[in-house]
Amino acid sequence: MGAILLKAEGITKTFPGVKALSNVNFNLQRGEIHSLMGENGAGKSTLIKVLTGVHEKNGGTFYLEGEKIEPASPEEAQRLGISTVYQEINLCENLSVAENIFIGREPMKKGRIDWKEINRRAKKVLLERLNINIDVTKILSSYSTAIQQMVAIARAVDISSGVLILDEPTSSLDKNEVKQLFDVMRSLKNEGMGIIFVSHFLDQIFEITDKITVLRNGEFIGEYETKTISRTELVSKMIGREWGEDSRQDHKKIRQISEKVFVDASSLGRQGTINPFNLSLRQGEVLGLAGLLGSGRTEVAKLIFGIEKADEGMMSIDNEAIRSMNPKVAVDKGLSFCPEDRKVEGIVNDLTIRENIILGLQAKRGLFKYIPMKEQKEIAQKYIDLLRIKTPSMEQKIDNLSGGNQQKVILARWLATDPKLLILDEPTRGIDIGSKREIRKLILDLAAEGITILFISSELEEVIACCDRVIVLRDRNIIGELQGDEMSESKIMDMIAKEAESNESIPV
């Protein structure tokens, strides 16, 4: 371990209405791999974006080798020696590997680009720094994501020898590729670079990093030595609940669930997204999916709803085998899906509340079948009352509603289609506590009416409060199931934290 390379002190960043970072500290040393951890919305990306000049910060100071820096753009950060490799590879697929490494700073000879030199140096960088031997004159798209990722890293390390930020570089790599990336990271570390590594995979964090900084809700929770912190401890720091402490005092009544299986998936999987899993949803139950972000919770739901195509396994709904699942079939079969990111995948900004509610029904009935305005109004009013959507009128643009109410509108959209199975992916994310409680209550009410619900949430407390059964995921695998009284936050955390292969025991 060397001297402090990068120091962030009291970094604060507010977006309209949200405090994304408040008073965050971060220290990176030379020759260190340092992980930023936290659940979604914890502020990891924001911190990186502020550091690399994508966003402007509202307070605090960055020091690079003791000197104050204020990068205002990614280029400027790059010039200072801070380069970033993003999850989605930011290179040009139509150019050669060598050109991707050198574009914008091509070596020139007699006023023209020296292609020989570019190719020679690109080959050298890849071989010496990253230990990869490939034909650098081939276009980038001839290579796999893993190699493209390496090329992006090659560009980054060739530009700077200071700070390297890897933002979820492993999410699209397979095991072997991850191993090679780690080899590269280790050798860069030995060269004295400081590496900031963001990943959702706990196993990877414990394998490669030296230190971990945990953020939660935009706040600095602590900096820990990877060697000394236990998985359980780390998970509880991220989730924000002490291990062993249970919020659920009043035990919910254990409901009698029918044995009838509504959706049955057997070894359903998709390469690179989610490993094959078995899952059966019984009629009328509330099944929770718990796990950290990136564990495969959303992917399970997307596969069931047919948004992503499974490439292996089988699935049946109501005892009827479904050959190829897609959202249309899903809706026909009575499935409905409230996606995770309502801003992007859910609401249609420019339409009114009524129109947003009717959308799902319209799609189900057929796009050219007109639904009379009177009926539309009745339906909209029914759900506005039922879900207590706070709005002066149903003709209000949905954009004007608060997050919680927007979420209710989306819920209404699906309820209007009279679903048998409701998939809710993080329905309470980013909404205030009051609305959260209302939505939870609504889920229980719906379940009482006999609707089957698949419930995904990062908040364990919520999962336990709502669900009859919880399935726990880690690193794209289902690792366990808890039912009734077995369900507790500490048990779930325990399962999430346990090491995948070595089954390291955790002191209880």
Partner 1 sequence: MKREKFGIKENHIFIIATMALIVLLYGYGSIAFAGFFSTQVFLNLFIDNAYLIIVATGMAFVIITGGIDLSVGALVALISMVSASLLEAGLNGFVVMALSLLIGIAFGAFQGYFIYRFDLHPWIVTLAGMFLARGASFLISTDSIVITNETYSAISQAKVYLFGDHYISIGAVVAIIVVAIAIYIAKWTRFGRNVYAIGGNVKSAGLMGLPVKRTTILVYVFSGFCSALGGVVFTLYMLSGYGLHLLGMEMDAIAACVIGGILLTGGFGYLIGPTLGVMSMGIIQTIIMFQGTLSSWWTKIAVGFLLFVFILLQRLIVMKRRKRNVIRLKKVRNNVKVQSPSQSVSSEYK
Give the nearer residue to partner 1 in terms of CB position, either 119 or 417: 119
Radius of gyration of the chain (CA): 25
| Residue 250 backbone class (left: φ over 0; alpha: ψ -120 to 50; beta: rest) | beta
Q: How many residues does the chain have?
A: 508
* SS3 of 203-260: HHHHHHCCEEEEEECCEEEEEEECCCCCHHHHHHHHHCCCCCCCCCCCCCCCCCCCCC
* SS3 of 281-318: EECCCEEEEECCCCCCHHHHHHHHHCCCCCCEEEEEEC
Q: At what angle do helices 115-129 and 145-159 cross, to 10 degrees?
A: 100
Residues contacting residue 287 through CB under 8 Å, at least 6 positions apart: 281, 452, 453, 454, 455, 467, 468, 469, 470, 471
Task: Quickly tell me which residue has 């991220």 as its tokens.
Answer: 238
Residue numbers at the binding site for partner 1 (CB under 8 A): 74-75, 78, 86, 89-96, 99, 103-104, 106, 108, 112-113, 115, 119, 131-135, 137-139, 141-147, 150, 155, 172, 176-177, 180, 271-273, 311
- State in angstroms the smallest separation of the CB of 299 from partner 1: 13
Q: Please, are residues 62 and 14 in contact by the beta-carbon 8 Å criterion?
A: no
- State in angstroms the smallest separation of the CB of 48 from partner 1: 13
Give the nearer residue to partner 1 in terms of CB position, either 271 or 326: 271
Residues contacting residue 249 through CB under 8 Å, at least 6 positions apart: none
Q: Which letter, b or e, does each residue of 342-352 get, where b requires 16 or more Cβ atoms within 10 Å of its Cβ?
A: beeebbeeeeb
Counting beta carbons within 10 angstroms of the beta carbon of residue 210, is it exposed (0 to 12), middle (13 to 18) or buried (19 or more)? middle
Give the nearer residue to partner 1 in terms of CB position, either 175 or 253: 175
Give the nearer residue to partner 1 in terms of CB position, either 192 or 272: 272
Give the nearer residue to partner 1 in terms of CB position, either 271 or 349: 271
- State in angstroms the smallest separation of the CB of 107 from partner 1: 11
- State in angstroms the smallest separation of the CB of 344 from partner 1: 17
- State in angstroms the smallest separation of the CB of 368 from partner 1: 30
Question: What is each CA distance from 173 to 58, 87, 150, 170, 458, in whole angstroms?
Answer: 35, 11, 11, 5, 24
Give the nearer residue to partner 1 in terms of CB position, either 109 or 248: 109
- State in angstroms the smallest separation of the CB of 296 from partner 1: 15
Q: What are phi and psi of 441, to 5 degrees?
A: -65, -40
Give the nearer residue to partner 1 in terms of CB position, either 152 or 482: 152
- State in angstroms the smallest separation of the CB of 176 from partner 1: 6
- State in angstroms the smallest separation of the CB of 120 from partner 1: 12
Give the nearer residue to partner 1 in terms of CB position, either 143 or 277: 143
Give the nearer residue to partner 1 in terms of CB position, either 52 or 376: 52
- State in angstroms the smallest separation of the CB of 146 from partner 1: 6
DSSP run (H or E) holding 61: strand 59-64
